[in-house]
Amino acid sequence: QLQASGGGLVQAGGSLRLSCVASGRGFSSYTIGWFRQAPGKERVIVAAVPWNGGSTYYANSVKGRFTISRDNAEGTVYLQMNSLKPEDSAVYSCAVRQGIILQDVSRYYNWGQGTLVTVSS
């Protein structure tokens, strides 16, 4: 099971760091993705990191502003979000999959409760 935290209200240009903490075994063998869903919109992938912390993936909309990282010893994946924009406002959640990073949201599972990020202009 995954639990996302770290969301909140921040002004445009500000930063937040989200955490995705895993309970249970096997965390270090999974690809982890961060996703967001804004009101009235579909859930989309924001970033993902493979099990070994290697080549990461970022959506074009967050490249250069967000950084994903993982600490397998702590069972945690982080999403550092800088230069936040109002359009980044959404519920952010994390999920896992076995194997390579895919952009298809439906290929991820073990969704935990998300955390709300609100960016004011």
Residues 50-64: tens digit of each pLDDT: 988 899 999 999 999
pLDDT of residue 13: 98
The pair of structure tokens assigned to 22 is 């895993």
20 within 8 A of 77, measured Cβ to Cβ? yes
Question: Alpha-carbon distance 68 to 81, whole Å?
Answer: 9
Predicted confidence (pLDDT) at residue 28 exceeds the cutoff of 90? no
Do 111 and 95 form a contact (C-beta atoms < 8 A)? yes
- As a whole-number percent, the residues of the chain with pLDDT over 90 amount to 85
CB 3, CB 111: distance < 8 Å: no
Summarize pLDDT for 10-25 with one digit per residue, the tens.
999 999 999 999 887 7
Question: In the structure encoding, which two tokens stand for residue 9, read together?
Answer: 């209200």
Output 67 or 73, whichever has higher pLDDT: 67
Q: How far is the C-alpha of 56 from the C-alpha of 37, rounded, in Å? A: 20
